[in-house]
Structure formats: C-alpha cells, structure tokens
Structure 1
C-alpha cells in the first residue's frame, strides 16, 4: 500500500524524510532527516551528517516528505507504539 497524505499516520514511518516545523523545544525547529527508529513517544532522526537525534512526538509538528507531497502532522496524532498505530482502523 502506497503512503498517501490520507493514510500517513497509519503507516510505517521509518525511512521517511521529515522536518520539524514547530516544537515546544525551540532548538529542534528546523531539524531535518530520515526517521531511523520509532518508539511510542519518540522518533530517532538521522541528520545529513549521519548523527542521530532523538525527538519527542508530543509538542512537535512534523512535515513528512512523500514522493508527491509534503504532509504536516501534529506529533500528538502519532503517539502510539508503531506496531499498534499501523494496525488502527483507518
């Protein structure tokens, strides 16, 4: 199943490129990279210099870059174990 703006929050996010556009932690705004791991409350994002930054999902607005669109998502919508979020009804 292809990732679309409509099904993004119910899809596997590891491997997607993301950028933080708003955050309760101002030093994280502008962080961009590829999601390499995910837990219930956190993303691990690999930056271009190959360093990995951990960021909370709650209190953050992400923009995910898909092949044909950019999708802005409130991190609060992503709060769940990845395996549980993917199984939720769409």
Structure 2
C-alpha cells in the first residue's frame, strides 16, 4: 500500500499529480494522471494532452489512493522506478 512514508519506493503511474513549483514557470499548475515515468521525466495526461515534466526542476503534489496529498521534490525521484527501491532515504 502506498503511503506518504514509502511513496519513493512505488510506481507513480496512475497517481494524480500537480506541479506546484518549478524553475520553469510554464510547468507550474500542470495537473493530471501520471501515465509514464522515465529516469528523468514524468509524463502527465492533462485535459490538453500529454505533458512531459522534468523531475529535477519540479516539486509535485501527489494524490495517494487513500486520499492523502503528499509533496515530493522531483530531485528525489530522479532515477528509474525499479532502481529507487535500492536507495536509502532520510526520514523526514
């Protein structure tokens, strides 16, 4: 089960996401369902089409299946999903 404590270790595809901060101001406000995740990018399906968001310059709000919102810095997510399980993270 995905929780705010273990979201780093899970696949993000299917979660609803919002870009809340970014070095690129044109990315802020993009929201929709995550349809693909690569090493350095997340693809979000919006009402206007698919947008590809670089992870390392963005901060995301993710809606977890239990209804909880979690804020996550994209820099933490920069890695292939299958490789993130091997990483160690500091407790927040």
Find out whether 1:55 has 2:53 as its counterpart.
yes
Match of 2:14, SS state, is coil
Match of 2:23 in 1: 24
**What residue ranges of structure 2 are gaps of 5+ in the alignment?**
none
Q: Give a deviation string over 1:37-84, Cα, whole Å, max 9, x none.
A: 1110000100134x1000100010000011331000000000101111
RMSD: 1.4
Match of 1:25, SS state, is coil
Match of 1:82 in 2: 81
Q: Scaled by the length of structure 1, what TM-score is found?
A: 0.90
Structure 1 residue 6: Cα displacement: 0.3
Distance 1:46 1:78, change over 3 A: same
Count of residue pairs brought into register by the alignment:
88
Structure 1 residue 87: Cα displacement: 4.5
Contact 1:12 1:86 (C-alpha < 8 Å) held by counterparts:
no
Match of 1:41 in 2: 40
Q: Which runs of 4+ in 1 moved over 2 A?
A: 86-90
